[in-house]
Amino acid sequence: MKKRYSLDLCISFKKSVSLGMMLLCLTPSFAPAAELSVRIKDIVTFEGIRENQLVGYGLVVGLKGTGDTLKDSPYALETMVSMLERLGVNVRDKATDMKSKNVAAVMVTASLPAFARHGTPLDVRVSAIGTAKDLLGGTLLVTPLMGADGEVYAVAQGPLVTGGFSAEGQSGSSVTKGVPTSARIANGALVEKEIPFELDSLKSIRLSLRNPDMTTAGRIAAAINAHTPGSKASAQDPSTVNVALPTASKKSVMDFLTSIEQLRVAPDQTAKVIIDEQNGVIVMGKNVRISSVAVSHGNLTIRITETPQVSQPNPFSTTGSTVVVPRTGINVNEDGKKMTVLEEGVTLQELVDNLNALGVSPRDMITILRTIKAAGALQAEIEVI
């Protein structure tokens, strides 16, 4: 019976005085091939079926003295004056005398899902753009949300929920948790305009791979053709698979897409090592291989400790004085590790086991992997993020 490699997750976590570091690796183990396959819907997106970004400018009211300083935020003042005028209150002549700190100018953003219909509720994100310190307790007034084409697709309004807070004492001491100038409104907007898109009128559709790969694209096309003989699926490039919908099929486009997105394929991946040097994180794919190479690791540690002691004269003595006597201790530790030989074509698990046997930390492992790559023995791409 044929067996293939599957992905297991191993995590090695190490803490130091200044930074916690983690090693994340994908290790190979033998398992049935069925466990390797994933649904097509999990690794592709259907072109045309996507979200659209919306943005708007609005005014938050009801703040407890934590809003914009109107003299420093002219756009907030002008927005409030214009809104009051639309409600029949004329305060433009006295606008410069307004000193309210209970309002804040904000930007409102939301995502319009594909096929959203009239009245569909949307979650919105509200962010202060002026001098407001906290949006806790505020209420967003009616705010039109526009798309990239300048058309209004939704309208937002409602009470804000913040994920942080800010408090300040009279002496100047303050404490802040999270980001109090950013808030959200669950179901705070309603769709007012739909984006016209007739899915059932399509004659072909393109699938976009989330992780472009030529082998994976070819496997997706082969799986679709094997499932529906009348369809013509072909991989155009590593990130695109074009599917011509079968004309003889009695299924609608929706039924056809539903059936093919449940097909399972085994995605391929390149041998790659991802390194986040700032946080000490290493991620290695299962296809990483090492040629014959010898690795040695050792370090020198010098520890200096200061333990001053107090020296004082005997009780009732008429001579002498109390003084501080310095005491310095120096300890030198040369932790030399043995050299380890990595044989030709060792697996990722064997690589990790050998490096762990040397007692290396994730940050030292980053240096070792780079050195192995420089020696031409690491058969993988190193990407630093």
Helices vs. strands in the chain: H and E counts, helices first: 5, 28
pLDDT at 337 over 80: no
pLDDT, average across residues 225-234:
84
The DSSP code sequence of 260-276 is HHT-EE------EEEEE
Q: What is the DSSP letter of 369?
A: H
Please give the angle made by the CA atoms of 107, 64 and 71, to the nearest 5 degrees: 60
pLDDT for 319: 74
pLDDT, tens digit, for every residue of 342-371? 566 666 667 777 767 766 777 777 887 888
Task: Band the pLDDT of 35: cuts 50, 70, 90.
Answer: very low
pLDDT, tens digit, for every residue of 72-99? 778 888 888 888 888 888 777 776 667 7
Distance CA 177, CA 181 (A): 11
Residue 51's nearest CA partner among 124, 118, 117, 112 is: 112
pLDDT, tens digit, for every residue of 119-150? 999 999 999 998 888 898 899 999 999 999 99
Task: Band the pLDDT of 301: cuts 50, 70, 90.
Answer: low
Alpha carbons within 13 angstroms on the beta-carbon side of residue 56 total: 26
pLDDT at 277 over 90: no
Distance CA 248, CA 201 (A): 15
Rg (CA), the chain: 32
What 3-state DSSP class applies to 283?
strand
User: What length is written for the chain?
Assistant: 385
- Look over the chain and give the mean of its residue pLDDT values, rounded to a whole number: 77
Pairing of strands 293-295, 289-290: unpaired
pLDDT for 171: 62
Residue written as token pair 């307790």: 137
Q: What is the DSSP letter of 375?
A: T
| Helix residue ranges per DSSP H, 208-328 | 214-227, 253-261
Task: Report residue 58 as tokens.
Answer: 């609005």
Please name every residue paired with 9 in a beta bridge, in sequence order, or none if there are none: 26
Would you say 127 and 182 are in contact if contact means Cβ atoms under 8 Å apart?
Answer: yes
Task: Report residue 19 as tokens.
Answer: 């930074």
pLDDT for 24: 37
In three-state form (DSSP H/G/I as H, E/B as E, the rest C), the secondary structure along 2-31 is CCEEEEEEEEEEEECCCCEEEEEEEEEEEE
- Phi and psi of 374, rounded to 5°? -65, -30
Domains and CATH numbers, the chain: 1-36+269-307+327-385 (no CATH), 38-48+198-265 (3.30.1360), 52-191 (no CATH)
Distance CA 36, CA 6 (A): 6
What 3-state DSSP class applies to 302?
strand
Would you say 62 and 321 are in contact if contact means Cβ atoms under 8 Å apart?
Answer: no
Distance CA 46, CA 34 (A): 25
What 3-state DSSP class applies to 379?
strand
pLDDT, tens digit, for every residue of 143-201? 999 999 999 999 999 999 987 766 666 666 667 777 889 999 999 999 999 988 877 77
Neighbours of 259 (CB within 10 A): 14
Task: Band the pLDDT of 26: cuts 50, 70, 90.
Answer: very low
Which pTM was predicted? 0.63
